[in-house]
Every structure is written in structure tokens, then in C-alpha cells.
């Protein structure tokens, strides 16, 4: 008996519900099992055998997921065009997954092998995730399924295979549940039960993966300052000055919890000193006063502006982290420039083209340039008597696997993520980003300090547990001792190999799907010719019989 295919309208409804369900697996709700349900609904919706319809189903699922998941983009831009364009572009790539999933099923040897289909769908999904992390405009990894699992038993798998493995297992679980539902509908209870048991094992077995948390090269006593910003200010310069003053005041407030000299390092967020203290004396005095009061160096975020000597009005900037030492100022050799500026947020690609659609492009008035150096800063810390290599990534850079991994492999013993979430209001963007920092802690076996201007900020242990956490739109400080670690995880050692292998397997599966499609077309064509021949012969024989009858009647 051929399998029952759901009506087209139902497939679109299942896809939309699946996308909405998957969004609830992410912060701020963090209902992590909903990711399995969301993928299960998508797999059920993709049961029709049409590549074009598969693309549409994936696209609808993508809209159901990305429209709520990226709502913060609407708040940041102030009008919906950016949010809609970004969500639609990401949904279109999920559509590519949907089309590919239908095509892969046609590969010889997959049609009747359930687990082969499940694994093929998982490989295809992570390949699409890795692709959209790189294209267009250098990619956008926001919304990886792996980042929904920071409260789930799957999180320890991050230390083995990074986002590739965790996202892949989410898809395996969801697809297994979808196939179990189909078999249950067919009253094949044994087959359905086996699929559910394997899905449960995949979901909970990762709890057995050991995670190292102990210091291996000492520890640091750090203070992190979330100074907050004015929600509404006058001109940009006065607001920037107020932000720096807020963080200086927060630094001095640390003295309610520690004595001067007790801290090894104080960490300020991205944009905490947007008026460059290396060129502005008033800002330098504010920062130096705070550093002297707490008697510790400050790692802070600032902007460095460049002007084209031929066109003074054509300016550009770098988003930088600098180390400030009391009485000395910024250490020239300890500067990190953000490598991955955000397109349409920190720089405007094809400005003239996109201006035809909206004048919002000019909200980004000065383009940010990418830094060229790895995110690794060796900080001289007196108590340890050595330079401590610290992996750093600014804001959205925490979402990119390679940017953090390369600095950890190069020697980073602690991960620091300074960020500025003031543009996103009370949306879920901050908590989504903090979940990524939590994932990176487990992936690399390093403590992570994420510090935001307005929150949410947190200090995370190498096994993904919060040591401290702040609220959103508050002025708060955190003080804690964090372990320094040097052991590389399996994920660090494997590097990009899981993504490359997944991509290669997905390519093989798609090629197999094309071969299966051609074979089906040839089989149908030859079958049609054979059937047509039989019908033609029958018709002739029938005509002969009818003709004989008519002739006989005529004679009678």
C-alpha cells in the first residue's frame, strides 16, 4: 500500500507550527524539547514527493521560526524592512533544505531505509546551517539549533562536535519522532516504539560525556561592569560620555565587594568608551580614575575613527578592545579590532543599491572596517607573574564557530565577550547571545565572561553553569574567580572537519537524489511506452471486434 501523503494545506500548516514551536526552544523561553517537536513537524510536512513543494514547506517553516526569533532586528532598525528582509533571506535557505530533503529521499538505497533517511536529513540540515553561517555577506549563524540546547542534556556534545554535532542530533531526534508518528498511525507499534527509544537515548546519553572544569594554569579574580546607558539621550557625544561615566562609577562600586588590588582584571563592555580615550583627554581621565581606584587594568571597548585624507567627510571606523593600565593608559600592542562587522548594522554593503528601497541604510552613517588580527590578547597580570592569553570576540562574533575556536587553539585560557545590546531594547536578543556564550564555554572547556552595556551579562563555568548573571537594562557588577584552562576539547582538535564531512556527505546525498530522479524518469518513460503499446494493441483488437460485429449485423 503506498504511503498516505498529507494534503498540501496541512503540510504548510505543519511547517508554520514547526517553525513557531522551534523558536520557543530558544531564550527567553528556553523550552528546549520544542526544538525536537519543531523539526518533527517539518519532517512530517516534507512527506510529499515534490522538490518545489519541499522548498515552499521549508520556506514557510523558516518564516514561522525566523520572524519571531529575529524580532529584535525590527527594534534595532526602527522600521520593519530590515527584520522582514533578514527573516525572508534566512527562511529561503531553510527552503533549500526542504527541497534537498525531498531530493535526497530519492537516492538509491534511502527510500526504504528509515535510519538512513534520518541521518541524511540531519547531515543536510547542518550543511545548510554551516552554509548560511558563511553566505551571504559572510553569513549569519543566528538561530542554529545547537544554541537552543544550552539547558538540555545535549549540551556536553558541544565539546565533541561543536554546533555541527549538537544541531545534527536535534534533527535526528526530531526526525525519529516524526517517523515514529507515521508508524504509530499505521498501527506499527513496535517500530514506533523502537524509534522513540532511540530518540530518547540520543537525547539523554550525552549527560555521560565528562566535562573538565578545574583550573589548569591558575585562576583570575575578575570584575565585570554593566554600567547601563541612557535610554534616550541628546547628541551621540554626550550620551557616549555618560556611558563611560556610568562604567567608571560601576568600577568604583566594585570596591564594595573587593579591596583595591584584589582584582586581576576589570572588564567593560563593547562601546563602553565610544569616545576614544587614546585621543580624548577627558575620557582618558575618567577611565584612568576608575583604574586607579580599583588598582587593576581595565579591558574596555572603544571606537577608532579614520578619515580619508582626500575626502575628509568619508570616514570609517574600527570597533576595538584595548587594555588600559592606571597611570600608563592604553597599551599600544594590546588592541583587538572586531573581525566580523555586522552587515546592515555596522557597515552598509551596496549602499546606493539598497537606498532605492529604504533610506534606513543611512542610519549606518560611518562604515565599520574589519580587523585582521586573531582575537587573542596576552594580558600582563602581575599576580600570576606572566602574560595570560585571553580569547576575545566582540558582540555577534560569539555566534561564529571559527572566530572563537582559532584563538582558543592558539592558546586562549579564558573567553571574554564584550557586547553592546542597547539597540535591541527589551527584546530577547541579549539572552539569545548569552546562550551562545554558554555554548562556547562547553565547546572549548573555558570559562566565559560576557559583559554587556545593558545586559544580559553573565560569567559561565567551563561546563556551562552560570556563576553570576545580571538583569536586562540594569546597572550591575559581577565579581568572581574564573579558572584558566589549557586542555583542548575534541571539538577544538577537530576544527572544521565535522562541517566539511557533513558538507561532503550532503553533496553525495544530493547527487544520489539526482541519480534516483533520473532513474525514476527513465523507468516511467519506458513503462509509459510499454503501456502505450499495450493500449494501442487492445484498441486495434477492440476495433476489429467491433468492426466484425457491425459487418455481421449488416449482413443479417
Catalytic residues: 270, 338, 395
d(CA 478, CA 288): 20
Cell of 282: 577627558
d(CA 55, CA 16): 13
Q: Indicate the length of the chain as a whole number.
A: 556
Answer for the pair 82, 76: CB distance below 8 angstroms, yes or no. Answer: yes
Cross-strand partners of 273: 302
d(CA 289, CA 322): 16
CB count in 10 Å sphere of residue 101: 26
Contacts of 324 (CB under 8 A, 6+ apart): 277, 287, 288, 291, 297, 298, 299, 300, 330, 331
Cell of 555: 449482413
d(CA 126, CA 145): 9
- Phi and psi angles of residue 392, each rounded to the nearest 5 degrees, phi first: -130, 145
Give residue for cell 586573531.
374
- Alpha carbon of residue 254 to chain centroid: 33
Give residue for cell 593608559.
329
Identify the burial level of 250 via C-beta atoms within 10 angstroms of its C-beta, where 0-12 means exposed, 13-18 middle and 19 or more buried. buried
DSSP 8-state code for residue 5:
P
DSSP count for the chain of H helices, then E strands = 15, 13
Contacts of 431 (CB under 8 A, 6+ apart): 27, 28, 456, 472
Identify the burial level of 448 via C-beta atoms within 10 angstroms of its C-beta, where 0-12 means exposed, 13-18 middle and 19 or more buried. buried
The alpha helices in 325-400, defined as continuous H runs, are 351-355
Helix (H) or strand (E) holding 10: helix 8-23
Cross-strand partners of 378: 389
Cell of 123: 547531515
d(CA 224, CA 396): 19
Answer for the pair 458, 466: CB distance below 8 angstroms, yes or no. Answer: yes
Query: Which of 235, 223, 232, 230 is closest to 267 using CA atoms?
Result: 223
Query: Which of 295, 251, 254, 293 is closest to 272 using CA atoms?
Result: 251
Answer for the pair 59, 16: CB distance below 8 angstroms, yes or no. Answer: no
Answer for the pair 459, 441: CB distance below 8 angstroms, yes or no. Answer: no
Amino acid at each position: 500500500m503506498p504511503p498516505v501523503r498529507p494534503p498540501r494545506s496541512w503540510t504548510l500548516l505543519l511547517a508554520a507550527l514547526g517553525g513557531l514551536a522551534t523558536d520557543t526552544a530558544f531564550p527567553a523561553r528556553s523550552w528546549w524539547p520544542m526544538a525536537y517537536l519543531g523539526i518533527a513537524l517539518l519532517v512530517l510536512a516534507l512527506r510529499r514527493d515534490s522538490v518545489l513543494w519541499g522548498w515552499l514547506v521549508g520556506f514557510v517553516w523558516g518564516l514561522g521560526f525566523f520572524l519571531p526569533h529575529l524580532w529584535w532586528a525590527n527594534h534595532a532598525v526602527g522600521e520593519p524592512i530590515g527584520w522582514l528582509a533578514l527573516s525572508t533571506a534566512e527562511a529561503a535557505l531553510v527552503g533549500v533544505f526542504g527541497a534537498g530533503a525531498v531530493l535526497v529521499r530519492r537516492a538509491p538505497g534511502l527510500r526504504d531505509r528509515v535510519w538512513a533517511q534520518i541521518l541524511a536529513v540531519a547531515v543536510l540540515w547542518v550543511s545548510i546551517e554551516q552554509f548560511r553561517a558563511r553566505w551571504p555577506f559572510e553569513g549569519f549563524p543566528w538561530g542554529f539549533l545547537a544554541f537552543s540546547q544550552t539547558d538540555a542534556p545535549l549540551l556536553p556534545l558541544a565539546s565533541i562536535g561543536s554546533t555541527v554535532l549538537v544541531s545534527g542530533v536535534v534533527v535526528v531526534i526530531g526526525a525519529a519522532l516524526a517517523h515514529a508518528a507515521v508508524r504509530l498511525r499505521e498501527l506499527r507499534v513496535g517500530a514506533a516504539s523502537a524509534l522513540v527509544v532511540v530518540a530518547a537515548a540520543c537525547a539523554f546519553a550525552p549527560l555521560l560525556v565528562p566535562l573538565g572544569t578545574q583550573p589548569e594554569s591558575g585562576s583570575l579574580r575578575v570584575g565585570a561592569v554593566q554600567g547601563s546607558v541612557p535610554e534616550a539621550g541628546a547628541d551621540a557625544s554626550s550620551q557616549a560620555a555618560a556611558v563611560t561615566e556610568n562604567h567608571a562609577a560601576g568600577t568604583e562600586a566594585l570596591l564594595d565587594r573587593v579591596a583595591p588590588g584584589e582584582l586581576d582584571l576589570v572588564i567593560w563592555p563593547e562601546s563602553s568608551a565610544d569616545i576614544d580615550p587614546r585621543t580624548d583627554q577627558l575620557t582618558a581621565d575618567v577611565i584612568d580614575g576608575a583604574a586607579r581606584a580599583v588598582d587593576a587594568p581595565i579591558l574596555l571597548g572603544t571606537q577608532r575613527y579614520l578619515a580619508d585624507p582626500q575626502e575628509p567627510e568619508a570616514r570609517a571606523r574600527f570597533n576595538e578592545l584595548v587594555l588600559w593600565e592606571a597611570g600608563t593608559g592604553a597599551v599600544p600592542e594590546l588592541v583587538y579590532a572586531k573581525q566580523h562587522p555586522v552587515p546592515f548594522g555596522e557597515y552598509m554593503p551596496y549602499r546606493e543599491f539598497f537606498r532605492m528601497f529604504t533610506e534606513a541604510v543611512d542610519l549606518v552613517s560611518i562604515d565599520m572596517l574589519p580587523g585582521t588580527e586573531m582575537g587573542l590578547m596576552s594580558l600582563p597580570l602581575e599576580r600570576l607573574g606572566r602574560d595570560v592569553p585571553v580569547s576575545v570576540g566582540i558582540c555577534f562574533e560569539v555566534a561564529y564557530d571559527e572566530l572563537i575556536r582559532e584563538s582558543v587553539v592558539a592558546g586562549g585560557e579564558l573567553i571574554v565577550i564584550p557586547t553592546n545590546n542597547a539597540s535591541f531594547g527589551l527584546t530577547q536578543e541579549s539572552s539569545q547571545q548569552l546562550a551562545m556564550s554558554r555554548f562556547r564555554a562547553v565547546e572549548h572547556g573555558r570559562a566565559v565572561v560576557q559583559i554587556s552595556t545593558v545586559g544580559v551579562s553573565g560569567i559561565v563555568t567551563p561546563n556551562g553553569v552560570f556563576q553570576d548573571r545580571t538583569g536586562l537594562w540594569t546597572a550591575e557588577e559581577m565579581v568572581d574567580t574564573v579558572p584558566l584552562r589549557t586542555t583542548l576539547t575534541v571539538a577544538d582538535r577537530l576544527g572544521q572537519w565535522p562541517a566539511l564531512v557533513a558538507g561532503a556527505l550532503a553533496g553525495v546525498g544530493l547527487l544520489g537524489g539526482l541519480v534516483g530522479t533520473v532513474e525514476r524518469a527513465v523507468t516511467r518513460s519506458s513503462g509509459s511506452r510499454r503501456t502505450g503499446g499495450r493500449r494501442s494493441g487492445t484498441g486495434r483488437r477492440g476495433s476489429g471486434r467491433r468492426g466484425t460485429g457491425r459487418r455481421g449485423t449488416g449482413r443479417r
